[in-house]
Amino acid sequence: MNLRASTGPTIKVRSTFLLALPLLILSILFLMTPYPYLSLLIPIGVALLTGVSGRISLLFYLVIITIPFFKFRTLSQQYQFLKLDYIITAVLLLIIIGKIISEKKLPEELKTRLWIFLGLFLLVNLISSLLSPYMASAFSGFNTLIIAYTFVAICLICVDKKSFESILPLVICASSALAAIIGAMSYILKIEPLLSPIEGGYRAEGVTSGANNMALMCIFCLPIISHFLLYSQRLIIKIVYGCILACILSGLITSFSRGGFIIGSIIILLIFIQNRKVITIRNFGLFIAFTGLFVFFVTVSLPEEYLLRQKSLTKGTQADTSTQRRALYLKVGIRSFKSHPLLGTGTYTFPNIWASSIEAKWFKVEPRPAHNTYMDVLVGTGLVGLSAFVLILYYCYRSFSLAQNLAIEKGNNLLASLIGSYKLSFLSIVIYFFFKSAVEHKLFLISLALSALSLRFVKSEDMGNALQFRDS
């Protein structure tokens, strides 16, 4: 059975009913709250989303578009669960579940060995949470992990080869570029609600959840942008991605992210290495001229605050309060690991460990993540959990590499370059994990799915299958 195949009007009616019933109940509940006007969003949403219920790819792209716009996703401050991306994802999931129930079979698109490693990590988290001294927080984190896995499954179902090659990268890069340019303009125009304070001034975070998150998304896009700039045969595509690159760099710079500076430099070097044959053979002179011009304009236009913040890297943990706190996160995390070395203290329980530590009293006492994904995993699930997590990362990197090599063997250098770009984007997140807690970040989850899809599309004899399910 192929879930993407047309299933007829009967199933569409059932899917629409599964979609409309919970939204109708939610609309009635809103009438009894201090915000009855929010109930109007439900019938409007039903009218709009039912019209596209047969094109799940459109709903999927809407979810992707919302990723950088963290500050615009929450519809009600009083009801934090009402987030735009949650609602769209729920609708998308209801449509998929309706089709699965009707066809009485899981979709073929979900078949991948990736689930073995994800399942192992999930099992370790379950055991760790059951034994956790912070059981409520641990199962809240475990629930977040379940939601993350659900999103990976949605990606596997919704991304076909056309989306893989052109639509998805454009949606990711364009939405990130829009968020980046909003961040840059907020810095230039000093729009304080879109800025975050740092010692000596402000830095841009725009509509994202924070400056470091904006930097992560910008860096994730760089390898993908480079692929289309170097390999696209259409001038309009080069122009579009050239504009996207300018927005991405402006957002990366005004984020003032020191981690972004380090990781961005590494990824740019890896991009050059990966594309060295194209650059040296086809347009090395043009590349050198463009690079020189770019360096000149960047040097002239860089804010002085940016240079000062990057220079603070030489001061180590004495640079500012942020670096001192990060060093203490590691100290507290290592101490917790020594007490619970094998299975940790439960999923995402580092904030509890930090809030109860002596070190937290030196700052504002509040639960905070480790700002280091590997430390979060180590504290939460111990050596067993960290080993399972590293296995996931290794399997995905290996899948990208195998797919890239296989595409080269088949003579499809264009597809090999795109897969290589996805691999570098994935690697940028893996490195950024040393600076940010982001297991549930959607770009990371998309990368997990893309690693499996890369191998599937390259191995497939007919790599041009269209996503018929979206038109059913």
Q: Name which residue leads in pLDDT, 191 or 36.
A: 191
Query: Strand pairing partners for 83?
Result: 74
Over residues 95-107, the mean pLDDT reads 84
pLDDT per residue over 337-355, tens digit each?
Answer: 999 999 999 999 999 998 8
Q: Is 83 helix (H, G, I), strand (E, B) or coil?
A: strand
Q: Is 15 helix (H, G, I), strand (E, B) or coil?
A: helix
pLDDT of residue 197: 81
pLDDT per residue over 142-186, tens digit each?
Answer: 999 999 999 999 999 999 999 999 999 999 999 999 999 999 998
| pLDDT confidence band for 24 (50 / 70 / 90) | low
| pLDDT confidence band for 471 (50 / 70 / 90) | very low
pLDDT of residue 443: 96
* Maximum alpha-carbon separation in the chain: 68
pLDDT per residue over 245-268, tens digit each?
Answer: 989 998 998 888 888 888 998 999
Q: What angle do CA 142, 326, 359 make, to 5 degrees?
A: 90
Cβ atoms of 229 and 242 closer than 8 Å? yes
Average pLDDT, the chain: 81
Query: Strand pairing partners for 342?
Result: none
For residue 467, give Cα distances in angstroms to 57, 157, 272, 300: 8, 9, 34, 47
Q: Is the pLDDT of residue 4 over 50?
A: no
Over residues 360-387, the mean pLDDT reads 87
Over residues 89-115, the mean pLDDT reads 87
Task: Measure the CA–CA gap between 131 and 344, rounded to whole angstroms.
Answer: 9
- Of the ranges 10-19, 216-225, 456-465, the best mean pLDDT one: 216-225
pLDDT of residue 28: 60
Q: Two tokens at 6?
A: 């047309």
Task: Measure the CA–CA gap between 172 and 272, rounded to whole angstroms.
Answer: 22
Q: How many residues does the chain have?
A: 472
Task: Measure the CA–CA gap between 1 and 412, rounded to whole angstroms.
Answer: 29
| One-letter amino acid of 134 | Y
Over residues 63-68, the mean pLDDT reads 92
pLDDT of residue 130: 96
Q: Give the relative orientation of helices 168-188 and 56-66 as an angle to the nearest 10 degrees.
A: 30
For residue 161, give Cα distances in angstroms to 19, 131, 451: 28, 43, 13
pLDDT of residue 9: 41
pLDDT of residue 46: 54
pLDDT per residue over 278-328, tens digit each?
Answer: 766 555 555 555 555 555 555 555 566 655 555 555 555 554 566 777 888
**Placement of tokens 């490693």 in the chain:** 117
pLDDT of residue 128: 96
Percent share of the chain, pLDDT over 70:
74
